[in-house]
Structure 1
């Protein structure tokens, strides 16, 4: 914890368009927000406690969208045995940013036996947008991490898709101090995103990661079976070298990918913890 608080102190000294730090701890058999600090255009709601006692927080961007030169930093610590669900209020809109681009970094620290569930609304990149995101996850073998994101092309006056310059999204996942997962999505419309081995005619791309000590091939096969009825999207799901799974989904709209993720979450929560899927409501 001392190292993590050292990171907090160092980050506060830097200048960000939006900055958030958050610590969740388990006290009296309940997960509570023990520390929170936000600055700039990032805010958070008061936690809503789900029936299972899981606190749900919503991240709010009060600026309306990301513009050239913006930088954002989020640091979340989930203490031993604590749980947290984190979502966003609305889609992330990236506007024209030709000179400096937009940068975002998220650091998640999960201590032993903790659980962090992150569900992000779509990232929408408009004409001439440049966006770079790095997500770092530092966790223990006994902790649980669930993560989803969706990338979509923004509207343009001439109706053409994929007019942003580039999107780079990296996820680095460290378990017990060792890098176990490194995922890098690099989308560059100038390289023809519609071709084979890229989006192949689809417009929206979704990513899901689930790290859990009990993930196995049986769970992955259950997800594949349940997704057979979803015929408007393409997806690939596989086991990781660590105890977990990853999925990539392609579709023509955000609701289509959200349907795929909803099926996955329902199977995962029922199979691993015998719980209902989370109601990620925004009110």
Structure 2
């Protein structure tokens, strides 16, 4: 059943800028247009890191909605962004209509941006297109993760969305290092086959760039091995010290735990290196 085309289309916008001032990271710019909203800055376990919650006040994206999120982290600033809830994408209103989201992140010298993983849930008859672009420097610290669900499984909506097109691009010092595109059309083709989802239901992806001298093997050893009967996990190091993790699972609970474990391991290991790294950053701060 399709939603009424007479419903108002929402074009949410969120532009955030963070700067390092007087020993802390400050949110110096926050332009927000409904239904997107950012919380005030919180300082939790790290006194210099600014934690901000990202909120979608309408409860989900309806067919035709377009959201734009832009985040700029200036030199030496440290930021953690936490989506308040899973992203729900509701059915299209008219045939072939798309729901779109564009996320752009720029992390400058000695800056740090961490985007905590959350789930994307495409409802029946969804057509969703997302593009994520990240720009880093060699001294940036970065983490971005997300989880793709097969739909509202408790409503028997497993792989009943029309199309999901998720594109990720990562630039390091202006050079394209990683390009990853996942386009799924479960009603048109068999996405369970080899090279797609391999008969799994949930797909998790993470891209991250830690400070120098992170031990790759140490990172893998700290991750709790998933249940191999229900979950598969792989971690790869790319050029320029960029890491990519991908997880496939039959269980929403298990894949979310694996992705959050990865995030926490990244936090702990980067925190150990951050003391020396911050000294370098402060010496470069004027």
Q: TM-score, normalised by structure 1?
A: 0.85
Quote the Cα distance in structure 2 between the aligned partners of 1:59 and 1:68. Answer: 21
Question: Is the deviation greater in 82-91 or in 48-57?
Answer: 48-57
Cα distance change, pair 50–128 in 1 and its aligned pair in 2 (3 A): same
Q: Answer yes or no: is the 8 Å Cα contact 1:213–1:244 preserved in 2.
A: no
Aligned residue among 172, 183, 194 for 1:186: 183
| 3-state SS of 2:149 partner | strand
1:76-155 matches, cutoff 5 A: 76-97=71-92, 98-155=95-152
The Cα RMSD (Å) is 2.1
Match of 1:222 in 2: 218
Cα distance change, pair 267–60 in 1 and its aligned pair in 2 (3 A): closer
Q: Answer yes or no: is the 8 Å Cα contact 1:165–1:188 preserved in 2.
A: yes
Is it true that 1:69 corresponds to 2:64 in the alignment?
Answer: yes
Query: Structure 1 stretches (4+) deviating beyond 4 angstroms?
Result: none
Quote the Cα distance in structure 2 between the aligned partners of 1:180 and 1:29. Answer: 32
Match of 1:242 in 2: 240
Is it true that 1:37 corresponds to 2:37 in the alignment?
Answer: no
Q: Answer yes or no: is the 8 Å Cα contact 2:126–2:163 preserved in 1.
A: yes
In the TM superposition, residue 242 of structure 1 has moved relative to its aligned partner by: 2.1
In the TM superposition, residue 158 of structure 1 has moved relative to its aligned partner by: 7.3
Quote the Cα distance in structure 1 between the aligned partners of 2:189 and 2:139. Answer: 41
Is it true that 1:166 corresponds to 2:163 in the alignment?
Answer: yes
Q: Answer yes or no: is the 8 Å Cα contact 2:231–2:251 preserved in 1.
A: no
Cα distance change, pair 229–140 in 1 and its aligned pair in 2 (3 A): closer
1:2-41 matches, cutoff 5 A: 17-41=11-35
Quote the Cα distance in structure 2 between the aligned partners of 1:208 and 1:157. Answer: 26
In the TM superposition, residue 215 of structure 1 has moved relative to its aligned partner by: 6.0
Structure 1: any 5+ residue segments left out of the alignment? 1-14, 276-283
Cα distance change, pair 59–77 in 1 and its aligned pair in 2 (3 A): same
Q: TM-score, normalised by structure 2?
A: 0.84
Q: How many residues in Structure 1 have an aligned counterpart in Structure 2?
A: 260
